[in-house]
Structures are given as structure tokens and as C-alpha cells.
Chain A
Amino acid sequence: MSSHQPVVVPVRVTALMVNGAVRDDVRRTDWRRWVPDFSGAPHLSPEPDPLTLDVSRPRTGVTVHWELPLALRNGALGSDGITTYRAVPARWLVVRYSGPADNRAATAWLVQSNCLRDDPSDHTDNSPYAVATSDTDATLAAKRIGRVLPLTGTLTEPGQSAALTAVGPGLPTFCLYQPYNLGVFSLHDDLSGLTGDRRELSYLVMGWYAGDNDDPLAAAGTPAELLKKLGWHLDPAPSGTMRTVCAGTVTGVVWTSTGLPDKEKEEAPPVATDAGEPAIRYGVGESTADGVSALALAYEPSTWGQGDRLRRLQALQYGLLHEFDSASGAAAAQLRTGETRFEPRAGGFVWDFTTPSSAPGKPSAPVRPLPDEERAWLTGTNADQNTHDAAVRALARRQERMYELWWYVQQLRALAKRPSEIRPKLEALLKEVEPKLTTLIGRVKSDREQLAKAKALVRATTPEELAKAVDAEVARLKKLWGRDPKGRPTRTPRPPFHVAREPIVMIKGARAARLLDDPALLPCRLPGDLVAKADGTSVPPVKPEGWTKLPTVIGDRLPSALPDAVLTEFATLDRHPQPTKVTFADDTTADWKTGSADRRVRAAMRGTQAWRQPWTPLLLVWDAEYFAIPYYHHSDPTKKNWEFGPGQYVWRGEGDADDKEATPLTVRGKALLSAHAVHNLTERLHRIAQEAPGQAPDFVAAVGRLADHLSSATTGSDLISQALDGFNEFLTGRCSLVRARPPASVAGLLDGRHTFAPRDLQPVTRRPAQPEILENWVVPPYYRPLRAGQFRVRRMFLVDRFGRGREIIDTAVDLARRPKPARAASVIPDSKTPGKPDAADAVVHVTEPTLWAPHLFHLRPRLPQPVRLGFDAVSRLDDARTALTASSDEQISAWVVPNYFDEALLCMAPDGTLLGELRPTPAGALAFERLHPDAPVLGQASTKHPNLARFLNGLHARTDAVKALQDLVATVEEIRYTIAPYRADSGHPTLRMLGRPLVLIRARLHLEPDADPVVPLKPSRLTADPPTAEYQSYTWPVLLGSAASFTDGLVGYFDQSDYGTLYAVRTPNDPAPQTTYVLSRAKDTNSELALGQSRLVTLLADPWGGVQATSHILPTRVLSVDPDLVTHALKRMDAVFHVGPALGTMRPISVDVGYSTRATVTAFGIPLPVVETGTWSWRRPDSGTLPVTGVDAAARITPESRAHLRTGLLHLKNGLTPR
């Protein structure tokens, strides 16, 4: 007798009814059932290519399939790159009820899911499987898994068994795709022993673990913790020990000898709608948001074509609609949209000292100012970290190449075994490549060892490791410095690298609701919660023959009464599928209705399916033709096919060959549809009122209609949005297929980096052009690293869990009559000639271009590897030093305050100290009045303020310097219109009257690849050190600043070391520039960068705005100055006002001249702002200074001191701190 509490976890059970009509209904169902083949070479995929597969139809009968709970299907990614899965129940009882409702007959089977066998003759109750040959030899040996035994027969335990998980032998769809798991998670009932043309059947499935080692509820931990970890909801958690029981039923299965299931019993979408239109339509976009836009416009053109509703619809999907209408909302949305078209990749780390968070949820603050020791430590540590991060990335790319080369060698060996004429060449090549592979493996090995030796601080990956390493370092520093470090060293991520997202396919009408996953909290039950009566009536369960053997089979892990209780519920709900009220085993009752809040009812309903012929889309299989549009013209390398447009690259050239000469490339793949492909797509649309209040009512109504249109009427969403996974990699010759792990000697060095392998390698069919190069005797897959071009989808179909297939593009229909796919703006082909906003031109070297132009999707240039547009301030003192957060007090080179009245520039040091004023002299030259010993001298370099000196000298050196200065001030005036207003907390109100300070920042633009390039799959290229790729030499313009965004603060920039020309975001036109000092920033003359190149620029910008760097091949980067630093400088900024004529009198004031001594001096009385710190003084025209004092309106009649006038400078030292 078991003392454990069985937790009954609901599983969904589906049953496929197959008769002759179903099997042969090729119009509706395009059968796509296949099984893996583990007998091939290990570097090849055991899964066949669904595009080339012969039709394989199911057998007559009923196939019952049960879906494991989500917690048992999800894997956990380990730090070694390997995903691990929980064990699953390996014993399943299946009970079938048949016969008339009042006289049900019961039959039962025991499924031994983990039963391993060496290929038995009968394949009807098992599936192909593979296990490692032995503990030491990871080579796979083909086996069969699963066994179904009638409960009436002998129930022997399996001789061999596998450690069973949801992915079985490493197939992600193992537990979901029924043909893979026959006899494991599914069972075929051939209905033998039953008679009649119409058979009404019900099935109960109950599963349990064969031993406690596997059962997650039998692990250590409190019941509540264990349940929480699995997302299984029991409230309250039971007190004792627990065991897992999975249970589910499908009732009302109708098998008929002829004919298809009734229409209402069919889940799959119809072939055509009532209107005769194809039921399934598709569209393509760069993201879901723009795809939905295209669908919306197609759905209600008159509504969505108006105003900026489509933009709002996109903003809503990005969650930006609530701020979309703010002044900078559109620009922010634009940036965000740009970002969603890329995927981030970890960008390494940066260190800083921070104080601990002051309150929960509040971020910790950086320590400022930082003592020199800390700064030195940071400089060193950040350099180490940077080196380490780069080495990690380099290793990852090298591991990829190593796997690719290993695969190459495997394939080459296979090819070399085949008899052929070129076999000697292949063998020779093999001899050449194998040592290279060995070398590469050795290199990876030594790289890994090297990395393992890195300091724990930089190497740490888990939070625990990091905390430990930091603690150790703090202790070390404390000893070294003899004091506690200021704050705690903290590691934060650096900006990520980005890689292009794959094109997104949107499929409408595919009835994908079943894809939706288990809820985050799956309701579970205890035996007392099982249904005992329906509407007060109990139904005595009919027990199948052999039932009494069950306790022996199950053992004492579960209470012996449990199977009876489960069977009672089954019998009850089989008889009363729609009760009003149910009574549970513990005699409590509950209402039975949809949406019940009662956990027990929800659990019971989840585990009880009313039968319909099931349809659960699982895979999207696609086959496309791709027409590359290279960056440069195919015959004229000085011409680019792609032009840097205002918002994106636009096609302004030709294809990859002369018309009619090029051939399209095939791109194909299959994507596993995930729940989130359909999940929540329309939810956000429905939430519009909460997310963005105040929208126009007709817009809100239109969104509501659209949301309804995109959801199926019954259960959730009917829109699949799925990326064409592997598209981008396919172009470089790689693809991701399920493959066996390489032998341990290789796999052990890969850290899981063997997702992608070469697509193919075939012997040549003709003598190669350069036969002396051995690798030319085999043909690697084609390689187009720059993803830029157009594609059309040739075939596309969905495959469901039972292998039911459904074409999305009906190739039988003539192209001219085929429905046009919806195209999002981002994938509509460009007009080849500018100024035609409504044209979409096709690459013309194909037949019937006009006919299938509407089926073409446009892809703009994207690089094949993760790249980061580095845009960081460098130290104001040293161009070679990046001013990351740690040394942020070096970010600002100087402050410049243009004076609009006097056309002069006040210049301040980074901390706000006044250095001097540049102004025209009456003689028509520029003079710099130095007001501080550190101030630069015109015409000379400066060590204290090198960049300010260069800036001033750049102006000064011009022969038209005075006019150039006027142009500069006018440019600032011009661009200020579109720089957001001052921030409210930006200092003393009086300071605003001084003018708006600009910052001078030295910055580096860097087009930084994550690691070595992605190269063609040739041994010579894979083993080159460093490997190179042609795309590395392409140069990409980077545009700085934006005239469209109020948050962009750039006025202009100086390129490299040329301070003689300011490249302005916008040149003024009233008045127009008088000199060539200010030029418009040109998009493709300067600041072009090739991969790996960097460029220094000096930015003149508003301190509160960021500065955008736009490349169109990456998300726009924004450089902004540390706001604390800005506030700090503004607070203590010196101010100088030109004042005069000012009237006043000299009056005695007393001033502190020591700790306790005060002296009386006479000071000039003038109205003065009250400041907390800082002192005012008057600077006379002869540079003498005079104390000043504030005055009020009270009359002081002092005949001895006469009123007089003064003209000069009112100077505030040490800043305006508001009082």
C-alpha cells in the first residue's frame, strides 16, 4: 500500500480516425508521415527531407496520441551548451470503451514506452530509435523503442530500456510528431475484435514513472517547491510525499468504415472558404508588426488606408502607442522598429564601481568621482574583460568552423568510399584536409585551455561564480590598497551585437489554436478530486480484462485504488460528457461548465477531450527561389546596387548577373512552429484601451475588428507568425538539421556549437576549372554572405502532429490565378528608379516577371555574422582610450556656449570651469580671451584641453575665420529648432540665460564584427588563419545625427583630425553659410566604414540629446553623455555675462578673509542672482577685477559714493547651484 500522494496531471489525448476515405483524401490531406533513419552516417540527419519525401499514409484504425505536460517537454540549457530534459513517464495504460452507451465493453493495453529492442519484425507498436553503442563509444546504434502489450497477455518487463525524455534520441519533435513515437506516446488501435460500420469509442490514457529516480515529484524538496518548479498547480500542496500520475481521455471518437468525419468534427481548415477562396493565405514581412499592417490593409483598405492608422497599429504592437504622439514619439518608434528587425547577440561586459541599490527595484548608482586606484583597476580589468570576451567569441566561431570541417571530412570520407572516377582525387583531398582538421582541433583545444586560465573575474558566467570572484577580488584590493574599494566592482553587459532576423511568414486561416501551450500554471488534482458522479448519478466502471494485474504492474508507488478511481471518472464522463454538476470522490460537488474557476473542474476538463479529427500544425516547410542582388554591380565594381536611402538601403541597380543569365538559388527549410508563433498576437490589439488611452474611437473600433478577424471565432488566435528559420544561414551554405552528436573527441570541444552544418557536399560532375586545387573536385554548397535580394516561395506547407499536411501555396493553380501573398512594406521590392513611390520592381532575369512580381519579397543588405556599430566616447585626453562608463569624466572634451548676440563662443572645461571666450576682434580676426591658466592658446596645441584647442584652432586657422564663426553660430541656431528643450533639472535658471551649452565629445565609430567572418565551406577558407571573406571589404556609410528626432542633439561633427570643416546635420539657409567651414554631412563621402574599421569623430552636440549613428545594416546606435556628469558640470559651471552700461554705486561690504577675520571692501552694487556656492566678480575692460554685491530696491542715500556706469563682464566662479 502506497503512502504517497498521487498528483494527477492532465494530459491532452487526441485520436486520429483513419478509414479508406481519410487515407485517400489527398485533396484535403496531403499525408506527410515519415520516420527517422538512424542507420546513416552520424554527420547526416536521421530526419528525411520532407520536400522530397514520398507520401506515406496511416493505417486504418484509430491512432491515439497523448501530449506530455509542458514541464516534461521543456529542456534546460546548460552552460556547456547542452540542453537537458526531464525524464518522462514510461508506463502508460490505455483503456478503450466501445459498444453501445449502456453496455460498454472495455479493452486495455499497457504501453512500455522505454522498452528498447533490436529491430523486431513487427513495427506496429514501436518506433525507430538510437542509443550510443556503449558508454565509451558514442557512435549511435539503431534500435527500436516502445512496446504495446494487451493487458490480457503476459506483462513482462522490458529486457532493455532507454532513459526516456521528450526528445527521445535527440529529435525535438519526438514526443509531438506521432509517427516518431508510436508505442511510446501513441498507440495504434486497429479496432480488431470490433464490428460494425460505425463504432463509438472512448480512450483513457494513464501514465506513471517506472521508478522513483525519474519522477520529478519524488525528488528532494517540499511539495510546494516541487510543484512550483514544474508549474503544476495544487492548492494547497499536499503534505506528504508525492508521485506523478498523468491522465487524460478522449471521448466520443466515431470511427466509420466509409466517409470522412463530419464537418463539425474536423479541426483542420477547409480547403476553401464558403466564398470559394483558399482558406489559408500567407504574407511575408520583416517583423510581425509590419506583417500585421499588410494584413490589416488588405482586410479593410478603406479604414486602414486612412491617416496614419497603420503606423499606430504598428506602434501598438511595439507597445509604443501611448507615447507615439509625443513630439519625439514617432522618432522613438522608428528607432524601436529598426531594432526589432535584428536579433541581439551578447556583446561582452564592462566593469564599473557601483554603490549598492538604495531600495529594492532601484538600480545601483555608479560611484563618482572615482579615486585613481579604482580607475586604474577598471582600466586594467576592462581591458582584460574585453580581451577575454573577444577570445570567447573568436573561439565560438572557430568551434563552428571546426565542426564544419569535421563534417566536411566525414562527408568526404563517405564520398571517397563510393566507387567513382574521381575517387583518387577525393582520397588525396582527404589526406590533405585531415591534418588540417587535426590542427584546427588542436587550436580549439588550446584556445579552450587558454580561456579556462583567464582570471575568474572575467571568466565567470553564472551569478554565483561572479559573486564569488568579485568577493575574492574585493578582498585582494582591500589588502592591496589598505582600504575598502569605493563601491563594489560590478559587471554589466555591453551593447549587443546584432544579426539580421529571418523573414517572417504570416499564415492566416491555418487553425493553429491547438498550438497554444499549457497554461503557465497547469491545474492538477489529488485522487479525492477525481470525478465520481455526474449530475448525481454514478456510473459503475466497466473494467477491462486483466485489470486485476494492474497493482502488480504499477507496484507500490501509487495507491492501488487509484486506477479504479481514474477509471470511474473515465466511465462517468464517457456516459455524461456534458454534465451540469459533478461530484468528486471526496463527495464535494462543483458546477461543470466552461471557464469554471474551480481548479478541479479545470483540470478534469483539460484532461478530457471531446473528440474531433485532430489538427495541430507542427512544422512549416518551405522552398524558395532567391535572386541575389549583390552590393556591387556584377560587372562594374565601382557601382553599387544598393544606395543608402533616407530610411533604409534602396535598390538602385541590377541583379547578380546580366538579364537572363543568372539562375535563382534554392533556399529551403523547415521551421518548428512554436506556441508563441500564435500566442498573444492579437492580445495586445485587444488591450488597446489600457495600453494607449485616448485613441480615436474609430481607430479603436478598427483595431477591435482586426483582432477579431485575426483570431478564430472559437479558440484563440488563428494567425501563425513564423520566421523562416535558417534562411540567412542557408545563403552561406549552412543549415540546421537534427543531427547526432559528433564523437566525444569532437563534441567535447564544441560546447554545443554544432547547430549549423554544411548543407551539402557533392563530387563534381565536370572537370573543375582549376583541377590542381584538390578541393575543387567537390562542390560545396553555394555561398552568398551578403543577404540582399529578392525571393519567392515555390512551395510551402504545414505538417501536423499526425503527419497531416496542408499546402499553403497551391502549385496546381496557375501562377496568374494564384492569390497574391500579403507583403509588408519592408519586403516590397524597391522601385529601381527613384521618385516612383508606388512601383515594386522585380529582378528581371526570370521568366514571366510581371506575373510573379507580386510574389516577390525584397530583402535589404544584411551581414551574415553578428556585428556591432560601436559608437563610444573616447577619452578627451587620449584617442586610444575608450571612455566607457568607468572613466566617464573623460567623455566630455569641453563645453562650448555659443552667444547668439555677440557671435562669440564661451569655452569651459569638462567640469564647467571657464576657460575663455572666442570672439571676433574689431580687426576682423578671432581672438581667444583666456580666463584660466589651463586655457588653450590660439595657434598652439594644448595638453590640458587638446580637443578644444584643435576645435578653436580649426576655426582660427581659416582665412575667413570670423565668417566661419558666424556660420558656426548660425548652424547651431538652425539645428536647435529640432533639439528637444532643456531638461527641467538642468541647473540654475540664471544659467539658462547664459545660453545653451554644447558639449564637445571625441568619439569612435567602429563597425565591429563579433569574431572572424563567416567563410565559404572550403577547407582552405575554413582553416585560414585568420579566415577572410570578401564582404569584409565592403564599406558602409554611417550617418551621424538626425534632423527628424527631437531627442537627437548633434549639431555637427569633425571627421578624424580635420577640424577645418564641420559636417552639420543641417546647414542653415537663413542666412546661408558664407564659408565652407560648415558643410552638410554627406551620406556617402565621409565616415564610411568597412567591417572592423573604426573612425574618430569630434561631436558638437547638445548634452541632453543623444547622438544617433545610422548605418541601415544595423540598428541605429545612440551615444549619450552620462547625465550625472552633465548635471554635475552644469551645476558648477562658470558663467560670464557681458553687462553694460550698468549703473551702480560702490558700497562697503564685509568679506571673509580667513577663518574668523572679516574685512570691509567696497564693491559695485548690481542686481545679482543668489547662489549658494560660487562668487561673482566684475571684470573691467582692462582685465582688472572688482568685487560686486547684490542690491535691492531700498534707498540708501550715500552722497559720499556717487552713482556711475560700468561696462564689463560679470563673472561667476564655481557655479550656480540653485538655492
Chain B
Amino acid sequence: MTGTAAAGTLTFSDNLTPSAPRGTYSITVAQKLPPGLGGTNPTGLVQTVQVTGLRLHLGEQEVHGAYPPPGSCGPVQTLLPHIAFERRVLPWETRLDWKAGDSENKKRPWLALLLFTKGELVDDPEAAGLTTQGTAGELLVDAKDPLRLPTFTPALTDAEKATPVHTIRVTKDVFAALAPLATEVAHLAHVRGPLPGETSAIGLQDEERYDKDEDNEATRRATEYSFVVANRLPYPGPKGAPYVAHLVSLEGHTEMFDNPGSLTKDIRLLSLYSWSFTSSPQGEASFSELRRNLTREASDTADRTREFLLRHPQPATTGTDDFTRHVRYRLANGWIPLAHDNGVPDDFAWYRGPLVPYKVTAPSETDAKYGAADLSYAVARELGRALVLADQEMAAALGAYLDRAHGGLAQACRVIAPLLDPALLDPDLAARPRDTGDRADLRRAVDDLLTGADDRWRAAFDRVACGEPVHRHGAVLTSPAPSSRPHDGPLTDQQTIQILREQDLASHHSAPALLDLMKTLLARDDILDAIAEHTLGGTDPAEPKIIRWLDRLRRLEQVPFDHLVPHTAMLPPESLRIFRVDTVWLDALTEGAFRAAERSRLDRRALDALRAGYRARAAAPPKAGVLIRSRLVSAYPRTEVVVSKSQADGSKDARGRVLRRDRIAPDVLLCLFDGLPARIELHEPMHGLHLGVFEDLGRTYIGLRSLVEDTGDGVKVGQSLKGKLAEARVEVPFRRTSGPGAHTIKINQAGAGLAALVWDKLTAKYRPPGGSAAGPGDLALQMVQSPEKATLTITGS
């Protein structure tokens, strides 16, 4: 059963059962001879296949995230802690026998998330996350203590017994109080689709693919996560309390969960993953708290936007002289004075990185008046060059291109030379005054040849120039030659002599000096352009490297941070700074990258062609962006940034894309946009889209949402039914509200749990026909708490 939330394409699914769960399978191959052939059927072949799932250990890589953030402290008592997995099938991968029938067994996960607070765990009284460690054999099979141990079917192998595991020991009372029932576990796991805008984390290339093909099931699945949710709210009381969440395996304990009250002694549970946090009404680790701090400077008045510009704060000076004003102007526009070690004592220069506070204008005359040079673009060029030098692959790709260009031109020479009048290639420069060696005659001849050639010849010629062996195109290129001089009838003696002389392989006509021809070809744009085009557009996977590398460069991906923010005062702790991107700086950077490979005039021409080719293909450069230096970034590394299509400077709407979103330090997030958005939104990350409750007058409720589409009154799936139903909320039923296991929710307890309550309250109108209780996805939908969002409005400047 699926529901679509009003927010967009958020999808909830009950479960995803693998078609072949853990177990031993055999594949039998048999051949049956057709009748009449005689003989006996060949013996079949049986191959045994063992499908294993996770059992005793959960790798870090499986976990996408956990909430509340590990180690955090915040007001989270209304939210159900949960854990998100990278793999969608993980909770259902191992099928346990619940003795509930196949279809029901299939739905139930093998994991549950148990939440404990102070004094509830035998070996972890402070709920600090302590576990008992040892091998599975010691702790789960051979333990001597009077403990309820899991019954593994099949039994653990020797290898499994040697696996180190974490376990917790729970008393029978606590277990009875908080363990989810067998009928509830299915409601505590579901699969969730992506949140709008969350795809930016996938990378630009993938995003574009995603945009184009939204129905692509495989892509969608790749962005889905599975969730296991606790059945208990971290309800600490006024002072707050520590909590520890344990993801436990249910294997071997299914009957205990069937009836937790039947436990007669302490139980040992296998903890696959655990984290601790503090639930406190006063905490500030929540997203809202952090982002509030960040954006507190922002007010609704437009001119406060300046507070967020990336630049050095103005010095406290009272000077009003021209120089001071100049310095203030420089600083206000993002420049920083930097010491320059260049042999001149105490030299300094102005530097401004690519991230600038205002639109870049042409330098004013006064800019240069005060002595210190502005080296911003010189630094950019030098950096571009250094980055190419430092990157072997890029250096090799550029080098290979230059070789190809040189080799291609050489091949082109070889093809053209026999078609020209040998006298044109005469190397005897002595006959020609040195200073008139511009070879207009040769240029004309080559031009006539190339423009006069038919399309087939020209296409073959271009391919040869791009490095394909000539003989592959010999049939086209060598016959009929565009300028062949046909001889009709018998030759005169003179003609014979001339032909034989010119065609003698040993004569200089056969291998003429090619320098002038080489230069002539180099002076033409068309051949080099074809080579550059071939390199950039080639199907060779090694080649588009150049475009990708340069696109990345223009998104500043390889640029060291000190080039972006040359002074720490520009980005103090707990700050958010917005900026424009100086495309001139980007151009200088790109220019430097090309210049790195240039060692000669030939290289220069070839690189010019490559650069022109790149320009035509380059991805749009970023125009603006935001830098956030905050604990928000470290606590919520996947904080989403969404930008508006509308532009701050009132220009035409952009696509509103985030071109780059990179956490370049644990607490620094850099985002680059394709435009200058009027609004920037920070989203709580997707796995932080919690399931939770709300409080009203000391009681705990969940709001109701429709489970069906368009019920006649315009209500969509997932839409809140506030105002549609008399009472669009359900009070959350707890097993108990104090003592061990307090605030454990009755999810689905013999028709009396939350699932049934919700079902009833929805009335037939807002639920699908049939059924008696809400399914896991249905229930999750009801409990969705909207993600946090902060919007920054920017005014054009």
C-alpha cells in the first residue's frame, strides 16, 4: 500500500521482501532427450546455492543515518527515533518463522529498534551505549548465566560462532514493558522514497539523468531507504534524560516477542547497531535550533542581506582619507591584502577569490592608483596551471591531445603533400628571400585543394587528421585524388620523364620538406578544430575527461579553500555567507589550465582550438552560492539546499539547480547555484523526516492524513485531514506513562493499538476499502512530521 504525501513524491511502502530469502537453494539442470533418439537421459547437474543474509553483524556502510543524531542533545521527545538503511531490502532480508503464516511472515522484519533510558539495561545503567562484547558462540550459544538465549535455526556455523558481537541484557520486566509485539514489528519498518531536492547529493550527471527520466524505476530505487522505527517516545520529563537505541535482531526470539510477558528470566539480545543521545527540552542540537542561530541576522528587511555577504569585515577605523576609502572599498568588494614573497621586501598585493560579494565590474582606474597590484586573476591562472601539473591524468590527457594534434597534422601533411605541385614544397629556401617566406602560394594551393575536395574526401581527410590510419581511408583519399592530372593517350617522352622523376621513391619529391606545409595547415582553423572536436566529443571514455575535469574546475572542485576564502574573518564560526561567482576569475583559472600544457606555438594553436571546442560544450558555470560554517553542517551533514527559480536580481527564472553541494570541511558546506536565486532554503535532511507525534495540553496525538486519492473533496493522498474530519487526530495509546518502558506506544495490540485507532478515525471515506487496521506505510504516513526548512530571501544587489 502506498501513499503520496502532499509534499511531492514521497513514497511509503510497507516492505520489500526479497524473492529468495536466506536459505539453501539448489539449482537442478537436467536434459531430456527427445523420444526416438534412444539412449538414456544424461545425468542432471545439481548446484547448491547458499543465500546468506546479515545475521550477527551490520556493517557501518549499511547505515544511512540515525535520528536523533548520535550524541546530540535536544527536544526530541515527540519524535520516534529511527535508523535508515542504505539497502531497501535489509529489514526483510532474513525471514523468521513467526508461525503466522507465509504471507504474514514475509512482512515481518528481523530487526527492531528498542529504546532504553537510565536504569533499564542491566549492564548499561546510565544508557550510555555500553554493550557486552564477545563472540557469538560465547554470548549467544554457550552462555552459562541463567539467561534466555536466542534459538538459532539453522544453528550458527563455527565461523559465525567466532564472530564478535555486541549484546545487551534486558530484564524480563523491562522487556515485557517495551518489546514490540510480533504483531507490531511489521508496523515499525517501512521503505521511504526520496524527498524532492534531495537528489543533489547524487551528483550532477546523475541528477540530469534523473530529471529526464523520472519514471526510471531503478533510479528511484537507488534513492530509497528502508527505515526501522522505535516504538517508544524519548519522553524524559522536565530535566531531560539519556537514551540509548539498540537495533536488535529478533532471530531466535520470535516467541518472546509474540508474548513478552511470558519471559521468565533476563533475555540476551543481539545488538546490531546502537547509539545514544539525550532528550532534553532545553537542548539545541535540533536542526531548527542550529539554523535559527545561523540565520538570526536575517530579518525580513531586504537590506539585511548584506550581513550575509562573503567579505572581510571593515576595520574599525575612523580614517576618511582616500587611501582608507580605497581600502574600505577593496574590503567591501571582497578583496584581501596578502603578503607577497617575490623578492621585493614587504610587498603585498590585493587578492579576491572567485566568490565575490557583488557583481564584478571592470576595474576602475583608481583601483591601480595605490600601488599594490591586484593579482586575483594572475593567481587564478597560476592555480589553473598548477592544478593541471598536479593532476597526472589531466596532464596526460592534454599531452595526448597535443600529440594527436601534432600527429594529425603530420598525417594531414602526408596526405596533402603528394597532391600538390612539387615545386610548391621545394625546400630550397636559398632561392627565396628569407623575409618573404609567408608562402601565400602554398596557402592558396592548400585552400583550393581542401575547399575543392568532395565531401567524402574531406570527411576521410578529417578522420585521418584526427589520428585514424590513412590506409583505412586509402580508397577515398588516394583515388581519385582531387588534383590528379589525368593523362589521356600515350605520354610524350617529356611527360614520361617528368612523371618518373617525380614519382621516384628516392627523389626528394617523394618525401618533400613538409615544414611550410605544416605551418600552412596549422594556420588553418578547420583541421585543428576537427581534431579538438574529435578529442572532446570522442566516444573514447578516456577523452571526455578533459571536459569533465574543466567543468569540475569551473565548479571550483579542485580549488584549495584558501583561494576561495583567503581570510578566516570572511567566514567566522556559525556563519552563513552568500556570494556571487566571478566568471572572469573562472576564465582565468581555465586559461591557466590550458596554458600549463603549452610549450610551443604549435601547442598554443592546438590548445586554442581545444579551448574553443570546450567553450561550446562547457557546462554552465555557477553564478552564485552559499557557504555555511556551522555545527549544523557537522550534525546534519546531509542538510539540503534548495534554491528558487526566481532570481534575486529580477532576471529570468533559472532552472534553480544546485550545481555543487560539498561539505569541504566537517563544518563547512559550499553550495553553488546556476543562478542568483531570490530564495535559498535549507532543508532538514531526508532521513530526518521524522515520524512523531504532537502534544496538546499535555496529551499526545498524531494528526490524520488521507490514505486515498481524490475523495471528491480534492483531498490528495497524504493530505492532512485537519478540518475535513471532526476530530482529525488520534491520541497516542501508551502501554504505560511511567516506570521502565514508559511511553512505549501500543502500535497494533490485538485491535487496540494505534493502527486500529487510526483506521477507525479515518472513516471509510479516507481509507481504502477493506482491512481493519492501518498498515506500516499507512501508519508512517500519519506520523510524518514535516521537515524543517529555513528560507533565506536575497535581494538583488
Contact = CB atoms under 8 A, between A and B. Distances in A.
Interface in B423-470: 426-430, 434-435, 437-438, 469-470
Given A993-B389, A1203-B566, A311 B418 contact: yes
B581 to A, nearest CB: 16
Contact of A695 (B390, B391, B474): B474
Given A1044-B427, A1142-B386, A826 B504 contact: yes
B563 A305 contact: no
A1143 B485 CA distance: 63
Given A326-B469, A1145-B562, A1204 B389 contact: no
A329 interface: yes
Contact of A1137 (B342, B389, B479): B389
A104 B714 CA distance: 122
A825 B500 contact: yes
Interface stretch (B11-19, B29-37, B47-55, B506-514): B506-514
B478 A1203 contact: no
Interface string B558-589: 11111111111001000000000000000000
A307 B497 CA distance: 15
Contact of B507 (A825, A974, A1045, A1137): A825
A995 B599 contact: yes
Given A981-B407, A995-B599, A1143 B563 contact: yes
A1128 B451 CA distance: 46
A310 to B, nearest CB: 4
A308 interface: yes
Range of interface residues on chain A? 35 or more
B349 interface: yes
Given A297-B499, A326-B470, A333-B510, A289 B494 contact: no
A1193 B491 CA distance: 73
B648 interface: no
A1072 B413 CA distance: 24
B649 interface: no
B654 interface: no
A838 B498 contact: yes
Given A302-B488, A646-B508, A1167-B389, A973 B600 contact: yes
B414 interface: yes
Given A840-B497, A1067-B434, A1207-B341, A307 B481 contact: yes
Given A977-B522, A1203-B567, A647 B561 contact: no
A988 B396 CA distance: 8
A413 to B, nearest CB: 48
B343 A311 contact: no
B502 interface: yes
Contacts of A1170: 390, 392
Contacts of B391: 1169
Contacts of A989: 392-393, 395-396, 399
Contacts of B556: 1193
A1170 B392 CA distance: 8
Most buried by B among A839, A1043, A1072, A1181: A1043
Most buried by B among A290, A993, A1070, A1202: A993
Interface string A1176-1210: 00001110000000111111111100111111100
A828 B497 contact: yes
Contact of B479 (A696, A900, A974): A696
Most buried by B among A322, A331, A333, A1069: A1069
A329 B418 CA distance: 12
A697 B476 CA distance: 10
Interface in A839-861: 839-840, 854
Contacts of B484: 306-307
B495 A838 contact: yes
Contact of B342 (A307, A697, A823, A1207): A1207
Contacts of B479: 306-307, 696-699
Contacts of A315: 505
B497 A338 contact: no
B282 interface: no
A712 interface: no
Contact of A325 (B343, B430, B470, B496): B470
Interface in A392-427: none
A1191 B395 contact: no
B340 A1205 contact: yes
Contacts of B349: 1141, 1205
A334 B665 contact: no
Interface string B64-88: 0000000000000000000000000
A331 B510 CA distance: 8
B639 interface: no
A1141 B474 contact: no
Contacts of A1168: 386, 389-390
Interface string A993-1018: 11110000000000000000000000
Given A330-B414, A1069-B437, A977 B668 contact: no
B470 A1205 contact: no
A283 to B, nearest CB: 11
A694 B485 contact: no
A46 to B, nearest CB: 41
A305 B665 contact: no
A334 B510 contact: yes
A978 interface: yes
B653 interface: no
B499 A1169 contact: no
A1096 B407 CA distance: 33
Contacts of A306: 479-481, 484-487
Contact of A1205 (B342, B419, B490, B511): B342
A471 B605 CA distance: 59
Interface string B296-319: 000000000000000000000000
B379 interface: yes
Contact of B506 (A329, A334, A1191, A1207): A334
A663 interface: no
Interface string A321-346: 01001111111011001100100000
B403 A981 contact: yes
A974 B600 CA distance: 9
A435 interface: no
A194 to B, nearest CB: 55
B559 A1193 contact: yes
Contacts of A331: 511
B710 interface: no
A311 B505 contact: yes
A982 B428 CA distance: 28
A1114 to B, nearest CB: 13
Interface in B596-639: 596-602, 629
A965 interface: no
B410 A980 contact: yes
Given A315-B505, A318-B505, 18 more contacts: A301-B496, A306-B480, A314-B504, A337-B506, A697-B475, A828-B500, A838-B497, A976-B602, A996-B600, A1066-B513, A1072-B434, A1139-B386, A1143-B566, A1167-B389, A1170-B390, A1192-B560, A1193-B556, A1219-B392
28 contacts: A289-B505, A290-B506, A301-B496, A305-B495, A305-B499, A311-B418, A311-B504, A315-B505, A327-B414, A334-B511, A647-B506, A976-B602, A977-B519, A990-B392, A1042-B513, A1043-B427, A1067-B434, A1069-B438, A1167-B389, A1170-B390, A1180-B341, A1181-B341, A1181-B342, A1191-B560, A1198-B568, A1205-B341, A1206-B341, A1207-B341
Interface of A: 289-290, 293-294, 297-298, 301-302, 304-312, 314-315, 318, 322, 325-331, 333-334, 337-338, 341, 645-648, 692-699, 823-826, 828, 837-840, 854, 900, 973-978, 980-982, 984, 988-990, 992-996, 1042-1046, 1066-1067, 1069-1070, 1072, 1080, 1137, 1139-1145, 1165-1170, 1180-1182, 1190-1199, 1202-1208, 1218-1219
Q: Which 4 A-B pairs have the closest CB atoms?
A: A1181-B343, A325-B470, A696-B479, A647-B508
